[in-house]
A and B are shown apart, each in its own frame.
Chain A
């Protein structure tokens, strides 16, 4: 076994695939996949529709070590059907979360990249996401932290956007996007006047990593480097956040205030301005270090109340 060292730096999370992310995030050579491609557990619903299948159904799960501690990890493959959740894909993730309940690892790491329910098996996918949510919250109830990582090309949307916000904490890069309905879905259904999905800058100001960090929806904003994600996971994994009545009452207050304060806003810039950021239009242009420095006070306020 080798140490996680300098040679692991410089791998873009955004550009890596599901397996590369795991390989660079965990301690070297520590990953053991469960139900890998050799097991040929593929979706039975795609072939009848003339669609190609993947031998892992678009998700990699298994055991590994992080900084020497045992973890369970899942990584969704955006390159296969946008990481969408079907029957087998969902059952692998639910199974991993149930394994965590008996095995009690130091934490569960979910690398989320998904458009949500896979339409080709929509009903099975919807129920599967509900099963993932319930299994995830049972893991948290056991005091095992669940961390979500977001930063791939497909973002984290649909039901998986809800799953993400059920995690103890979230780590995102600037390229990462997190939401419920994707901009394309809103534009297609409600019209381009409601949301112009082709306006990439507007999309990032609405669902992108920096805005999610400003709101307190994610706890860590990091550079697009898997080593940076790893460092943030190590920092957060020892801090499970109990879901008590008091904690949820706090969240109720926090979300109510957010709705009151920013409910009329139509653009991230409006939100940041209301927060008291001096030059809100400049935020998208800043690199991560300067961005974090310039918004530190606001982000701290959002995170703490």
Chain B
């Protein structure tokens, strides 16, 4: 979905979100009140500069709009693949954005994500995946890597991967697979403004993705394994 119609559908009461060089920032009016909006469009790769711009907006929201919910609209092809960015320590820039969003969350800002086009690995990790509640449009794309590239790198036959991707949600791209794993809470279909309003009103309780993945039988071990660790008693003596 294109960004302008998406913004109009999400905020029928109006918005002031600016779209500049693939970056989104601004505010929208939703049912329960004002929402801060940030994100990317045109499959923007997250570079050091992009991460800084997004982080700057998050820090402004924390400073100037205490408690306002933050909606992250995701369309990214992933992290920028460049030597110059790696030389600067791109992972540190993405970690900075992550820490800013975490700060916002701790200060009472609801973080909600909508994947409306493409969400890929490092770019997705650096902002969209930081929300308590992550939603996606039905025709969005979420992936780490496409199957042909995966086949090349793992040296496994493409046919084997295609065959198994029908049975296992764990590696093949797709919104449905992330839904089964608990990585996507719900899939939105129009009217989108209603979904946004419901998402803003929903009570949330931190990172619930492992439990969702367990319930949906897509990720059967993550919740159990982490629970076993937490419950492990120290050896006496």
Partner-B contacts on A (CB < 8 A)? 32, 34-35, 41, 44-45, 48-50, 61, 63, 87-88, 90-92, 94-96, 98-99, 102, 117, 119-131, 133-135, 137, 141, 157-159, 161-166, 178-181, 183, 185-186, 189-190, 194-195, 206-207, 211-212, 215, 217, 243-245, 248-249, 251-252, 255-256, 258-259, 262-268, 271
Q: How far is the CA of A69 from the CA of B145 in the complex (A)?
A: 43
Contacts of A32 in B (CB 8 A): 234-235
Q: Which residue of B lies closest to A212 (CB)?
A: B89
Chain A residues with CB under 8 A of B178: 123, 127
Residues of A within 8 A of B173 (CB): 123
Interfacial chain B residues near A248, Cβ < 8 Å: 55, 59, 96, 99-100, 103
Measured CB to CB, the nearest residue on chain A to B222 is A91
Q: What are 18 A-B pairs with beta-carbon distances under 8 A?
A: A32-B234, A35-B232, A61-B229, A63-B234, A87-B225, A91-B224, A95-B227, A131-B209, A133-B130, A157-B91, A162-B91, A179-B86, A179-B89, A181-B79, A186-B83, A248-B99, A249-B59, A255-B92
| B132-144 interface bits toward A, Cβ cutoff 8 Å, 1 = contact, 0 = none | 0000000000111
B121 contacts the other chain (CB 8 A): yes
A186 lies within 8 A of B82 (CB): yes
Are A189's CB and B221's CB within 8 A?
no
Query: Shortest distance in angstroms between A67's beta carbon and chain B's nearest beta carbon?
Result: 19
CA A268 to CA B89, docked complex, whole Å: 11
In the complex, per-residue mask of B148-179: 1 if CB is within 8 Å of any chain A CB, else 0: 00100110100011001001111111000110
Q: Is A45 a contact partner of B171 (Cβ separation < 8 A)?
A: yes
Whether the pair A94, B226 counts as a contact (CB closer than 8 A) is yes
- Taking a contact as CB atoms under 8 Å apart, the answer to whether B59 and A49 are in contact is no
A127 touches B182 (CB 8 A): yes
Residues of B within 8 A of A88 (CB): 221-222, 225
Which listed residue, B59, B83, B94, B102, touches A195 by the CB 8 Å rule?
B83
Chain B at the A interface: mostly helix, strand, loop or mixed?
Answer: helix
Q: A90-B222, A131-B207 are in contact. Are A162 and B59 (CB under 8 A)?
A: no
B210: chain A residues at CB < 8 Å are 91, 94, 131
B88 sits at the interface (CB 8 A):
yes
A41 touches B171 (CB 8 A): no
* Interface assignment of B124: CB less than 8 Å from any CB of chain A: yes
Q: Are B230 and A179 in contact (CB under 8 A)?
A: no
New A-B contacts (9) at CB < 8 Å, excluding given A61-B229, A99-B232, A165-B95: A87-B219, A91-B222, A91-B223, A95-B226, A122-B150, A130-B183, A137-B102, A186-B83, A243-B102
A48 CA to B85 CA, complexed, in Å: 37
In contact, B144 and A123 (Cβ under 8 angstroms): yes
Nearest residue (CB) in B for A102 is: B230
Taking the nearest CB of chain A, how far is it from the CB of B183, in angstroms?
4
Answer whether A44 and B221 are a contact pair too, CB < 8 Å, given A126-B144, A195-B83: yes
B145 touching A181, Cβ below 8 Å: no
- Whether B221 and A127, one on each chain, are in contact in the complex, defined by CB atoms closer than 8 angstroms, is no
State whether B52 touches A34 (Cβ < 8 A): no
Cβ 8 A contact of B99, one of A49, A137, A161 = A137
Within 8 A of A (CB), among B51-101: 52, 55-56, 59, 62-63, 79, 81-96, 98-100
Q: Do B229 and A87 have beta carbons less than 8 Å apart?
A: no
- B61 smallest CB distance to A (angstroms): 11
Residues of A with C-beta under 8 A to B4? none
B181 CB within 8 Å of chain A: yes
CA distance A120 to B225 in the complex (A): 19
Would B79 and A127 count as touching, CB distance under 8 A? no
Report B-chain residues with C-beta under 8 Å of the C-beta of A161.
Answer: 91
Asked if A127 meets B154 with Cβ closer than 8 Å, knowing A98-B229, A134-B207, A164-B91, the reply is no
Decide if B183 touches A91 in the complex (CB within 8 Å): no
Expressed in whole angstroms, the minimum distance between the Cβ of A153 and any Cβ of chain B is 18
Decide yes or no whether B129 CB sits under 8 A from chain A.
yes
Chain B residues whose C-beta falls within 8 Å of the C-beta of A163 in the assembled complex: 95
Interface centre among A92, A178, A181, A183 (most CB of B within 10 A): A181
**Cβ of A147 to closest chain B Cβ, rounded Å:** 15
Give the nearest-CB partner of A262 in chain B.
Answer: B88
Task: Known A159-B122, A180-B91, A262-B88; judge A194-B48 contact (CB<8 A).
Answer: no
Separation in Å of the B171 CB from the closest CB of chain A? 5
Q: Is B88 a contact of A259 with CB atoms below 8 Å?
A: yes
| B213/A141 in contact, CB under 8 A | no
Against A, the Cβ 8 Å flags (1 = close, 0 = not) of B195-221 are 000000000001101100100000111
